[in-house]
Structures are given as C-alpha cells and as structure tokens.
Chain A
C-alpha cells in the first residue's frame, strides 16, 4: 500500500477513535439522531414484514399458546393477591405494586440468531426518557432490560443474553435464585440444594429497583422450568428456564419508565 493511502487510513482510524470516545458530544449526538430518524421508517417496514413472514404456527396453536400465557399471568396475579392478603393479615409488610408508567415502543431490529435473538433495537431513546437499566415487558412477561441508549434508538438485552441477570423466585414458594442468560437458554442459578424445584414451575422476578426509581419490578414472569440440574454433592442446583413469549413474533413491547 502506498504511503499517502496508509496515512489516510490512520486519519480515519483516529477519527473513528475520537467519535467512539465522545458519543455524548452534542454535534455527534445530533448527527446520530438525524441518521436514526432517516432510517427509522424503512427499518420499521422491513422488520414488520420479517415478523409477518415468520409466523408459521397455525391459528389454533397460536390461540392455545396465547391462552396458556394468559392463564399463567392469572396464576401469578393470584399468587400476588394471596401474598398481599397474608401480608395484610400479618401486618409486617405490604407487597403492593407501585403504579408504573408504561411506554409502548416498536422493535425495529435485532442482533443474534433469527429464532433466538440476543438483543432487540427499539425506536425510542434519550428523547423519550429512556435510561439504561429500565425493564422491558410484554404483558406480564419480562422481555429484557435497556442496555444502550442513543438519541432515537435503544438496545434491549434479552433475558437469554449473557449480560442479563436478575433476582428471581419460584411463584408460590420461597425458593429464590439468580436468573442468568446463557445465550441459548435462561438459567436459574444459585438455588439452595435442599429446595424442591419442579418442572413447569413458574419463575418470576424478585425485584431489582435502582435508587433512581426504575428497574425490574417483582412478579414479572420470566418463564417455566424446563429441566433441573441437581447434584447432591453441590451446595446449589440450577434449572433451565423456557420463556413463555416468542421474541421473533414481537413487534411492540413496553418500557417501565418508573
């Protein structure tokens, strides 16, 4: 390669490094916002057509899946009301759900495999009040949490992403653990060996709210236990969790603002 071309290469490398290190600099944020606005519409259209063509399940199966999800949500609600009832009776604690503001957002892209994405790109960002760490839900199910926020778009890391983790407990019991994304599946880890896990048990979030007032609230459905790994010589057992929502079919999700 000729010397002038090599120097050009170094200049572009230097420019890239400057932009990389100064994303929040107002002129850069402004230009990023403009490019996102320009490409937002075609991305929306293309992603919508992709999700429409990927729906191969028959109508009956879809209805059954939706009914199953609704019944699980009702079960969680029932468990929450039962807990509230017991708490009011004991007068020790109140497990009320703090009213939250929900922001509907559209999914405009993804990263990872088509059938099991790791990251979703949504069409809301800083200008809509989105912040890193906010929970993203679909119905009463946790989808993931906000990881990166730009002017008009944000990244959502999904519950199977290796960067995702939160506290969890098994609905209807005192069994607690830690949910970790493992890429291909969701893992319920750090469950005490003496606790009795069962297949099809519903795992919900325990709650992880930051000092700023947002985060992952309690009683959001993570999924159902698919398989259990219990070794008697170990202090903890683990379980593989299967999510109850089909991420590739999602077009709109909701962000818990506070």
Chain B
C-alpha cells in the first residue's frame, strides 16, 4: 500500500519540471546578476522608477507570554553600505541594546530586504528602523508579523502559504485606506480569521491571535 504522500510527491516531481532552464540560460543569469551586484549604487541611480524599497520583516513567534516592556529602540540603517555591513551594523546596535537577534540583509534589483529574527518577545513591538540617506523617491516599509498563539506544523505551513500568496502581497501593495481590510481578507480566506492588522504610514503590523479555522 502506497504512502499517503506518494501521489503528491510524484505530482511535485512532475511540476518541478515546468520551465527548467538550460545550462546556458543559468550561466547567463548568473553572470548577469554578478555584474549588477558589483555596483549596487548604480542600480539605485539607474532605476529611479523602482525606488529603494526597504522591507523589514520582524518576525517573532512564541507561545502566549506577557510582553516585556523595554525602552523604544531606534535602529539606523544605511542602505548605501554593502549587505554584510548593514548586517553587522544592525547586529551591533541590537547587541548594544541587549537584544539577541540575527540580522540578514539582501540587496535586490528593487531594494534591500532586511530581516531581524528573534525569539525575544520584547522585540516585536518596541523596535523602529530609521533609514538615513534614502533617495528622494524611496519608500521604506516595515512589515511586522507576530504569532501569539501556538500553531501546529501544518498550521504554520498554512500561514506561510497565506503570507506568500499573491493575494497577501497584493493587499500590501494597495492604498493605505484599504490595506487593513485587504490584508484581513487575504488571511481570512486562508482560514486565519482572528488577526489584528494595524496600518501606519510606513509599517504594517499583523498579529495572528488564533490558529486557523
């Protein structure tokens, strides 16, 4: 008797064949990416229409506990620096503030993505990021996701899928006035009805309070 996942794995195997790249295409993509990574400043200057989008996701996942109250911490990020320096700068700032966290920064075509991952429950609500030296047309957005309930592995996978979905990303990209409702709908459609969504001028905070129904 086949395992319950055999059919699904075979489907995954088949679908993973869709749109495979040739070796020449892979090599071309790599050499093209490396040439643009050598001078990230050139990217921002040559692509003013894209703006320098900084998405900061602070993810804190923990079982329901009381928040520790800490002083507000302002982190300064210089997006002109290489990714490695951004990482070490932020980690240094966090360490000085007594907050254990791992920082990863990646520069992409259209901006810098910074992640601060911590299981310190005090990190989520008392962290602000200040970005100096932004180009005039730059946009800095902060996305905070907190899970204040216990999720099973399957439920966590479901939340992951929901937050990766085009519907959720589309909701984030909409006008501020509609964003909270759109984000709630995107998550509700995935079964997560008990969520708080707070939209601020440059940040969105989402708290998942209960497992999906």
Q: Do these two chains interact?
A: no
